[in-house]
Structure formats: C-alpha cells, structure tokens
Amino acid sequence: MNLDFLNDKQREGVVTTEGPVLILAGAGSGKTRVLTHRVAYLIEQGVMPYNIMAITFTNKAAREMRERIDNIVGFGSDGVWVATFHASCVRILRRYCENLGQGYTSNFTIYDTDDCKTLMKEVCKYLQIDTKQFKERTFLNVISDAKNKLIGPEEFTNRAMGDFNMSRQATVYREYQARLRQNNAFDFDDLIMKTVELLRLDGDVRAYYNDKFKYIMVDEYQDTNAAQFELVRLLTGAQQNLCVVGDDDQSIYKFRGADIYNILNFEQHFPAAHVIKLEQNYRSTGNILEAANSVIANNEGRKEKALWTEAEDGDKIQFQQFDSAYEEASYIASNIGSLVRKGEADYKDCAVLYRTNAQSRLIEDKMIYEGIPYKIVGGVNFYSRKEIKDVLAYLKTVDNGSDDIAVQRIINIPKRGIGATTITKVSDFARERGLNFYEALLHCEEVPSIGKAATKIQGFTSLIEKLRKIAHEESVSALVEEILEQTDYVAELKAEGTDEAKARIENIDELLTKAVAYEKDARDDGEEPTLSGFLEDVALVADIDSYEESDNYVVLMTLHGAKGLEFPRVYMAGMEDGLFPGQAAIFDGGGADSELEEERRLAYVGITRAREHLTMTAARMRMVRGETAFHKISRFVKEIPEDLVRGNLWEPKPMEDYSSTPIGEYSVYQRPSRPVSSFSKPASSYSKPAAAFTVGSSTTAVANKNGTKIEKGDLEYGIGDRVSHIKFKEGTVKDIIDEGRDYEVTVEFDGVGVKKMFASFAKLKKV
C-alpha cells in the first residue's frame, strides 16, 4: 500500500496498529485520512474487515468515513463496522436487549427530545409535582447527567439519602425509567447506558464482541463522556488494540456530559499507549492558524501542540466593532452580498457563526433584506415538525404498540371524538391491569363507564391492526402512503388551502422521499429494509446531517454546531466579553474543566473553521432579554497578536459616553504606533472613485439584491471639504465610500481625530 503521500506523523498513525494509540489531531490535520487509510492498511495486513470497528459522533462523519474506506479498499470494505456511538449501540441492543431481562424487545422505540418531554409531563402529573415550581426540563437534565455517568435510578436514590431535592429527583427518575421500560422505549442516553449494562452483565455477549472487534478506532475522542468511555473499554477487551483520535483543544461539549479528562488522561487509563501528534494543517492560511494558536495557548489544561502549515500567510483577520448589533448584522449581510456581486465568493463559501441562537434573528433579518439565500443549521429539526411527528407516531404505533406516547399522540388524529376523560379512563384501566395503553384500547369494552366511546376506540384499533398487516406485506414507503390515505391527512391539509398547509404537505412529501431513499440505501448495503430500521434511521439524525455543502446558501449556525465543518469565509459574530465568553465563564476558575477554558476552546474551533478569510465582529450595545447591555471586546479577540489583525482592535471611548453616540457611527481609534489607514474598513463592491462625490452631486440610485432601487439623497460635500458635526464639531472629509444604501464618510475632526460614520446618521454640514 502506497503511503508516500502522507506526512511522517500521518504515516506513523496508519502503521502503528498494535496496542493502545492516541492520535492528537489538530484541526484540519487530516485525521479522517489517517483513520481511513489505517483501516485499509489493517485489511492489507490480513485483518478481516468484520474485525474492524470505527466509531464516530455524527452520521455525516460516518458517511464520509464509509465512502472513503470504500474508495480505498473496494470489494469487502462493507464488512467494516462504521457507525456513530448511538447507532452502534442500537445494533447491539436490537440483537441482545432481551438479555437484559427487563422486558425490552427488539422492536423498541427510540424517544427523541419531544417524546421525552411528553413522558416527563405525564410523570410529573402522576407524581403531583408542580411543574411551575419544578420544571420538567430540569428533571430531564438531571437524569441525562446521571445516565452519562452510568448512575441508574437505584444508585441515584441511594446517593440522595438525606437530601430532599435529590430524593424528589430520584422519585421522578425511577418513575420515568419505569415508564420507558413499560413503553418498550429507550431515550438517547439509555442507548449507551443499557449497552454498557448489557456488556457488564452478560459475559457471553461481551466475549462475542471482544472477539469480533479485534481493532477499534474512535473519532472525536475528546467528546466522549463516562458512559462512552466505559463502552469503548468493554468492547476493546484484553488485546487493547484501541486507537483514539481527538483534539483536547476542541473539547466543547461539557454541557452534554463530555469529559475532557478522557483524552487528557488516556496514558493513565492505558499505560502502554503510543502518542502521535498531527500538527500540520491542510485547511487554513498561516495567519488564521497563528491566531488560533495564540488564543488556545492561554488555556492551562491542554496537551502542548501547535498547528502549522506550508500554505501562505493569507489575509489578516478582519475585526470590526459596531455601536449596535443591528449595525453588526447589516455589515455581515452587506459584506457577503458585496463579495458575491464582485464574483469573489459564492454564498455557500460563507458561514456566520455565533455563540447563542438568539443572535441569529437580526442576522436573518438582514439576510432577507439583502436578498441573500441562507439556512440556519440547528434550527427546528425536520423530524420535530408536527406533521412529521404525526406520521412517525403512526409508524411507531404500528411497529411497537407498547409506545404509549405515540399511541396517545395519534388517537385523535384525525379527530375521532375520543375525549380527554375517555383517555384518562383507559389510562387508569391500563395501570390497574398492568397493561400498556394500546393493550387497554384493545380491551376498551371492559373499561368502566366507557360508553359510546368504545365504538370510536375500536375504529382506531381496527385501523392500526390493518396497517400492521400492510407493514408485513408492503414497503415502508407504501405503508406511509397508506397511512396518509386512510387518515385523509394530506386531503385535510389541501382543504385548508393555506401557505402553511402547503408547506406541511411538502414536508410530508419529503418524508416519503426519505423512506424511499432509506429502502434503497438498505438494499445497497445488503440489508432488508424494515419499519424498525427506518424509525431507527430517523431517530439518529442530528441537526448537522441536514447540511449539504453543495447547496448555494449562506450557513448560519452556532459555534457548537460548526464543529467538524470548514468554509472559505467565516464570520464570527458577537465577539464581546459577557456574550463570548459569557459572564459565568469570566468568573469561573482555571483548569481544563473550567467554563472559561471551555469557551476558549470554542473560540479556537470557530477560528479554525475558516480556510482563507476570517472576520470577527462585535457590538458595543446589544439587547439582551429586553435590556440594553454594553460590552467590551472579547478577550479572545485581544489574545490574537495585533500584527495579525486589521480593524479597530482596542477599547472605545468610556461607557458613559455611549448614550450620546449617534446610532450608525462607528469609529477607528488611532494608536501612535500605526497609521490610521492600516485599520480602515475595506471598500465594498459599491466603492467608486473619489471624484464621483462632489458638491451638488445628483441623487444616486443603487439596487439591492432583490432589484429594488434605494434612493440616497445628495451629498453637499466632497473629499477635502470642511464639515461640521453636532457633537464632534469641525473636521475635514478624508474619504467617501458608497456602501449601497448609504455613504460611509471618513472625517478627521480637529478635536477628536478620525471618525467613520454613515452619512444619513452623521448629518454633516459643509462649512
């Protein structure tokens, strides 16, 4: 096998196959290339493909790895187990979950976030817990954290002794878990926790997988939690042919339970470990990498390494601070539009990253105003839409009648006149008889005082039984079509005739397309498509899986969501202390698990998403929860060496002066060591020769992205003229740039120095 195209460290990672191996792979250092060629090398050395396991965190990463392995290895590569943590556990549980002895069967349902919330509401209602005082979300977070640490309900109860609040949480945990088991359902955390439980309890199952997986590789190891660590340890077995790849500098999922010490202490867990560092970057320019290295070097809890590249230095990092978040969003949108009009970029080349989802609203507004196509990745998940969840609930009920959540969701879809009182009676009957809700529906005539509702219930159960027969005889896509026909779901939406109804029909059509695609993919993989398999495929979809690099739109997403992606141009918005890093992080202590170091790692991830151009923006004033907040420039920006940055990278005037600052003005603050021109904002595509702006110039009309003409009034002054400002008094016009909707005017004022401002806000008068 020819490995000459790999660098020395990459080649070492490929050929070091025996024993525990830790590959510290910096951003853009070719870790996927190493993993895929490592698989190919193992096969070339005589290892059977089915003895190799590669675990990833996202479906997108798994697909990419699978495609690369297939291209390198060719025939036989499909035997390699390439899957996410959760998908791997689902495959194991589908085969062996009955060995747990807890009543689970192989057609179990996987609950998504909404399903878990619905179940928790039922639990709190049953336990008579006031959800205005004790939020369902809090209970779910506590339970998730416990499961990530492999703490079951009984152990949690024992730990809660003497603590009233924890005791309440323990009661909720026990009831929640009991109902999951009764519904033959797992939540996402269960998938890993129950697999660990299975491997611990059943020596035969553990021995089977230890023998099957002679070589295990784990990608993004820095994001593993305690449960995932234990899963990997149990699967690896005595031979310890475990290769983990990760970057402690990109550990950003502490809020999901990720434990950075899994990677920092790898050599302690596996004393014979061989450590390899991949530091050569193939993604970004030299200046971007130097900026990233400078920021992350301020963290104490990390393994020493530094990215480097043979590529050119490239552009400096552009930093721009504005008076308001409104102006910040306007600048980002207009700058992207300008680049596209000049032919310097496509929309798909650009990504706008932010710390919190709330920041997207203003940016969205400006994208719409500028006519720029965009997509928010990580917004409302396709499978969380009402119409999709309704159809999926039918499919879940057909596949697993024990799923009370799914059955109760659709019992009145379409409307059947089965009221809340009837549902309560059936639920009570089910609980008394030890039945699940659907089983109770099948015996509805035995429910006390059920009355005429029994006929309506029987109509529903007859439909489900009919659909179950179809499911055994027809394809998944055919079953979906039958559900839609039998329920008149699409017909009712068509009768509404609204734009919203039309959009819902389009979503249902997309679900049908998904079902057909699943069937094809399953057959291509040599598997028989099944209803359980389709529901599993749907349940394991993550937000990032909806991102398609070929689509020509600007991507808007959180910094957390951007991990694993890269773009030619990246805009990092909201670079302000108090927002990024947040206030809690600023006052947190040091150490690898501190919030501040986690936030700095997140900044490092954001910077290293950029291949060629990185722009950072900040706002002095920002509305937060309805109140105006004033922020300083983020410390993460200031940790970048000044010679790598162009822009107004130092502190503005004192906070008390903000109230008198005209909205629309932003300033460049001069330092004695550098000329003002080196910090000037680059001209946009609207820039015109200075001679075009003279006294008495006619009204200028420019078109925005939608072709709408925007009229701009006359400028009564030109470059070189003396002008006066209501606050800054008199000065000389140094430059004028046409920014499309307004003119950007640079004035050197006699008393306060150089200022840049928009003409419509500045109201300058020729002296």
Residues designated as active site: 31-32, 219-220, 250, 609
Determine the distance from the C-alpha atom of residue 71 to the mean position of all C-alpha atoms in its chain, rounded to a whole number. 28
* Contact (Cβ atoms closer than 8 angstroms) between residue 707 and residue 698: no
Distance separating alpha carbons of residues 740 and 720, to the nearest angstrom: 22
Name the DSSP class of 572.
E
Those residues whose C-beta lies under 8 Å from the C-beta of residue 448, and which sit 6 or more positions away, are 425, 429
Distance separating alpha carbons of residues 352 and 333, to the nearest angstrom: 10
* Contact (Cβ atoms closer than 8 angstroms) between residue 92 and residue 195: yes
Return the number of other C-beta atoms located less than 10 Å from residue 15's C-beta: 14
Contacts by residues 64-72 (CB-CB < 8 Å, ≥ 24 positions apart): 64/32, 65/32, 65/35, 65/36, 65/219, 68/32, 68/33, 68/36, 69/36, 69/39, 69/40, 72/36, 72/37, 72/39, 72/40
Distance separating alpha carbons of residues 96 and 108, to the nearest angstrom: 12
Q: How far is CA 303 from CA 266, 280, 315, 460, 733, in A?
A: 11, 16, 29, 60, 52
Those residues whose C-beta lies under 8 Å from the C-beta of residue 745, and which sit 6 or more positions away, are 733, 735, 736, 756, 757, 758, 759, 762, 764
How many helices (H) and strands (E) the chain has is answered by 29, 24
Distance separating alpha carbons of residues 330 and 362, to the nearest angstrom: 8
Q: Which ranges in 626-689 belong to alpha helices (H)?
A: 635-638
* Contact (Cβ atoms closer than 8 angstroms) between residue 705 and residue 370: yes
Q: DSSP string spanning 130-190? A: -TTTS-HHHHHHHHHHHHHTT--HHHHHHHTTT-HHHHHHHHHHHHHHHHHHHTTEEEHHH
The token pair at 626 is 């309805």
Classify each residue of 433-445 as buried b or exposed e, where b means 16 or more C-beta atoms within 10 Å of its C-beta.
eebbbbbbbbbbe
* Contact (Cβ atoms closer than 8 angstroms) between residue 36 and residue 69: yes
Three-point CA angle 407, 536, 218, nearest 5°: 145
The partner residues of 351 in beta bridges, in order of sequence, read 555, 570
Distance separating alpha carbons of residues 584 and 581, to the nearest angstrom: 8
